[in-house]
């Protein structure tokens, strides 16, 4: 079966407070990057999987995001799937 690499980007919804992003923004300001207006911190998850087709891999990764990789109450996720 073909192998695929999925890159899943998970980030907080815009309405959710991001204390880690605020800390990074403050640290950047203290390092002299005064032009930074805000920071949002997310995560990148790479998943290698096998599937019969790219469409099947895409469907699997979508379900992974919904069921485990992102908390739908406070997070959004986007992903890309490519053949390896």
pTM for the structure as a whole? 0.90
Q: Residue 14's pLDDT is what?
A: 97
Tell me whether residue 61 is in a domain.
yes
With respect to residue 46, please indicate whether it lies within any of the assigned structural domains.
Answer: yes
Contact between 76 and 13 under an 8 Å Cβ cutoff? The reply is yes
In-domain check, residue 53: yes
Sequential pLDDT tens for the chain (84 residues): 999 999 999 999 999 999 999 999 999 999 999 999 999 999 999 999 999 999 999 999 999 999 999 999 999 999 999 999
Which phi and psi angles does 50 have, rounded to 5°? -110, 150
Q: Could you tell me if residue 50 is inside a domain?
A: yes
């Amino acid at each position: 079966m073909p192998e695929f690499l999925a890159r899943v980007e998970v980030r907080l919804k815009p309405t959710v407070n991001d204390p880690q992003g605020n800390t990074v923004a403050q640290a950047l300001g203290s390092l002299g990057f005064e032009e930074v207006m805000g920071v949002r911190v997310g995560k990148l998850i790479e998943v290698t999987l096998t599937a019969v087709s790219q469409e099947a891999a895409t469907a699997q990764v979508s379900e992974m995001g919904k069921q485990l990789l992102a908390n739908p109450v406070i997070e959004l996720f986007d992903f890309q799937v490519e053949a390896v």
